[in-house]
């Protein structure tokens, strides 16, 4: 089934199984994102052939699922390559606004939630006082036209180095996605909001993050012993 303008209405023609395969979300999930972004991505024009918020979200999800912009325009969605590019940019910009992100990604500061996180980590490895784990991950990008060299990471490909804090259930609590690939994890931490939360004591005492040896050891950030001695120092390696 196609609507006006020859654009296929995949929400009506595809079942949830096929929607999940193509877009990684079922109909309810797609409509959740649409309603979340509707005000921000609705076209101001009243033309009958304006691209709907549903079409914009579906196109963006297809791109995120495949990493190929060409796949979006060949999916019977009725959009030109230039329209696909504009739609993806508009939708991702709306999705990354602070008022949207903070609805789902927010480091807890209340004692009750932090206690829940501590208990969950304790259940995993008997490690007390841990409320989150911090690490960096490299997201590959196309070589930028400006400052290209700083985006080359230690594995010799272009990337954005993304700092992530997550809980015992692997839910993201804090994320910073702006640093070029050559940036060291410790540098990202030193200039991050999560450091400010701990050092200004917005996070209660006796709450800790776990990090690898790429981070400096701090009262609120526990890192491995580089040369552990026999006895208690080896416990964290078992």
- Mark whether 76 and 127 lie in a shared domain: no
Which candidate, 109, 159, 121, 115, places its Cα nearest to that of 138? 159
Residue 237 falls inside a structural domain: no
- Mark whether 144 and 78 lie in a shared domain: no
Residue 230 falls inside a structural domain: no
Residue 4 falls inside a structural domain: no
Give yes or no for residue 170 having a pLDDT over 80.
yes
Residue 1 falls inside a structural domain: no
- Mark whether 91 and 67 lie in a shared domain: yes
- Mark whether 139 and 174 lie in a shared domain: yes
pLDDT attached to residue 104 = 96
Cα dihedral sign for 205, 206, 208, 214?
Answer: positive
Which DSSP symbol is given to 3?
Answer: -
- Mark whether 89 and 35 lie in a shared domain: yes
Mean pLDDT score, 35-55: 88
Residue 5 falls inside a structural domain: no
Q: What domain range includes position 23? A: 11-99
Give yes or no for residue 1 having a pLDDT over 50.
no
Please, which pLDDT band fits residue 237 given cuts at 50, 70 and 90?
A: low
SS3 150: helix
Give the Å distances, CA to CA, from 145 to 125, 142, 191: 46, 9, 26
- Mark whether 115 and 186 lie in a shared domain: yes
- Mark whether 111 and 32 lie in a shared domain: no
Residue 195 falls inside a structural domain: yes
- Mark whether 45 and 119 lie in a shared domain: no
- pLDDT, one tens digit per residue, over 135-169 is 999 999 999 999 999 999 999 999 999 999 999 99
Which of residues 99, 127, 158 is at a domain's end? 99
- Mark whether 127 and 209 lie in a shared domain: yes
Please, which pLDDT band fits residue 71 given cuts at 50, 70 and 90?
A: confident
Mean pLDDT score, 205-223: 95
Give yes or no for residue 4 having a pLDDT over 60.
no
Tokens of 96: 């990354």
- Mark whether 137 and 111 lie in a shared domain: yes
**Number of domains present in the structure of the chain:** 2
Tokens of 126: 């008997």
- Mark whether 113 and 209 lie in a shared domain: yes
Task: Tell me the average pLDDT of the chain.
Answer: 91
- Mark whether 17 and 95 lie in a shared domain: yes
SS3 154: coil
Residue 177 falls inside a structural domain: yes
Mean pLDDT score, 167-182: 97
Residue 194 falls inside a structural domain: yes
pLDDT attached to residue 226 = 79
Give yes or no for residue 88 having a pLDDT over 60.
yes
pLDDT attached to residue 76 = 64
pLDDT attached to residue 67 = 84
Which of residues 51, 68, 99 is at a domain's end? 99
């Amino acid at each position: 089934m196609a609507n006006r303008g020859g654009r296929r209405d995949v929400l009506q023609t595809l079942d949830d199984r096929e929607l999940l395969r193509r877009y990684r979300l079922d109909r309810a999930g797609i409509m959740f994102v649409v309603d979340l972004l509707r005000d921000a991505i609705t076209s101001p024009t009243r033309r009958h052939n304006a691209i709907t918020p549903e079409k914009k979200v579906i196109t963006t999800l297809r791109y995120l699922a495949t990493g190929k912009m060409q796949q979006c325009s060949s999916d019977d969605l009725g959009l030109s390559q230039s329209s696909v590019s504009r739609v993806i940019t508009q939708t991702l910009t709306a999705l990354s606004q602070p008022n949207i992100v903070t609805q789902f990604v927010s480091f807890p500061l209340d004692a009750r939630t932090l206690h829940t996180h501590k208990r969950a980590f304790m259940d995993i490895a008997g490690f007390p006082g841990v409320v989150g784990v911090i690490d960096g991950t490299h997201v590959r990008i196309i070589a930028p036209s400006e400052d290209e060299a700083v985006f080359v990471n230690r594995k010799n490909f272009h990337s954005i180095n993304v700092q992530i804090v997550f809980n015992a259930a692997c839910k993201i609590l804090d994320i910073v996605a702006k640093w070029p690939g050559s940036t060291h994890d410790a540098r990202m931490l030193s200039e991050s909001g999560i450091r400010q939360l701990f050092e200004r004591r917005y996070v209660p005492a006796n709450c800790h993050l776990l990090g690898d040896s790429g981070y400096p050891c701090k009262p609120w950030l526990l890192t491995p012993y580089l040369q552990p001695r026999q006895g208690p120092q080896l416990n964290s390696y078992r």
